[in-house]
Amino acid sequence: MHKFTEEKNWQGTAEALADHAKGWMRLKRIGDPSFEPNERLVRDYVSRGILSKPERKGKEAIFGFEQLAQFLACRAVIDDGWPLSKISEDFQVSSLIDILKLIPGEAAHEDALSLVESFKTSAFSDSTAEKIRSPRISASMASAEDTRSANFLKRRRESYETRADIKEVLKRLGSDFGNVIREDFTAYQLASWLVLLIDREKARGITREEAEDIGKGITAALLNRNSLTKADRYSYSNQMRDLSSLEDEIRDKAFELERAAADLETLNIEIDQRNFELQALKKKLREAEK
Reported as a single tens digit per residue, the pLDDT across 13-72 is: 999 999 999 999 998 888 888 889 999 999 999 999 999 999 998 888 999 999 999 999
Q: Are 163 and 82 in contact (CB under 8 A)?
A: no
In this structure, the answer to whether residues 206 and 279 fall within a common structural domain is no
In this structure, the answer to whether residues 61 and 108 fall within a common structural domain is yes
In this structure, the answer to whether residues 133 and 50 fall within a common structural domain is yes
Confidence of residue 113 (pLDDT cuts 50, 70, 90): low
In this structure, the answer to whether residues 10 and 130 fall within a common structural domain is yes
pLDDT at site 221:
83
pLDDT at site 137:
40
pLDDT at site 132:
42
Share of the chain above pLDDT 90, in %: 22
**Structural domain of 214:** 185-227
pLDDT at site 51:
95
In this structure, the answer to whether residues 90 and 198 fall within a common structural domain is no
Q: Where are the alpha helices (DSSP H) in the chain?
A: 14-27, 39-48, 65-79, 84-91, 96-101, 109-120, 126-133, 143-172, 200-204, 208-223, 230-289
In this structure, the answer to whether residues 19 and 132 fall within a common structural domain is yes
- Of 55 and 1, the one with more pLDDT: 55
Asked whether residue 236 is domain-assigned, the answer is: yes
Among the candidates 227, 245, 260, a domain finishes at 227
Q: Which residues is 194 bridged to in the sheet?
A: 191
Reported as a single tens digit per residue, the pLDDT across 212-233 is: 999 998 888 888 767 667 677 7
Residue 59 has a CB neighbour count (10 Å cut-off) of 5
Least confident of 140-154, 178-192, 198-212, 253-267: 140-154
Among the candidates 209, 227, 245, a domain finishes at 227
Asked whether residue 264 is domain-assigned, the answer is: yes
pLDDT at site 62:
94
β-pairing verdict for 185-191 and 194-199:
antiparallel
Confidence of residue 267 (pLDDT cuts 50, 70, 90): confident
In this structure, the answer to whether residues 211 and 258 fall within a common structural domain is no
Residue 122 has pLDDT above 90, yes or no: no
Q: Which residues is 197 bridged to in the sheet?
A: 187
Q: Are 36 and 26 in contact (CB under 8 A)?
A: no
Residue 156 has pLDDT above 50, yes or no: yes
Asked whether residue 11 is domain-assigned, the answer is: yes
In this structure, the answer to whether residues 111 and 46 fall within a common structural domain is yes
Give the chain's domain count.
3
In this structure, the answer to whether residues 148 and 243 fall within a common structural domain is no
In this structure, the answer to whether residues 213 and 285 fall within a common structural domain is no
Reported as a single tens digit per residue, the pLDDT across 160-183 is: 555 556 666 766 676 666 566 667
pLDDT at site 164:
53
Q: Are 258 and 23 in contact (CB under 8 A)?
A: yes
In this structure, the answer to whether residues 162 and 104 fall within a common structural domain is yes
Taking the model in full, what pTM does it have? Answer: 0.47
Asked whether residue 180 is domain-assigned, the answer is: no
In this structure, the answer to whether residues 126 and 41 fall within a common structural domain is yes
pLDDT at site 166:
63
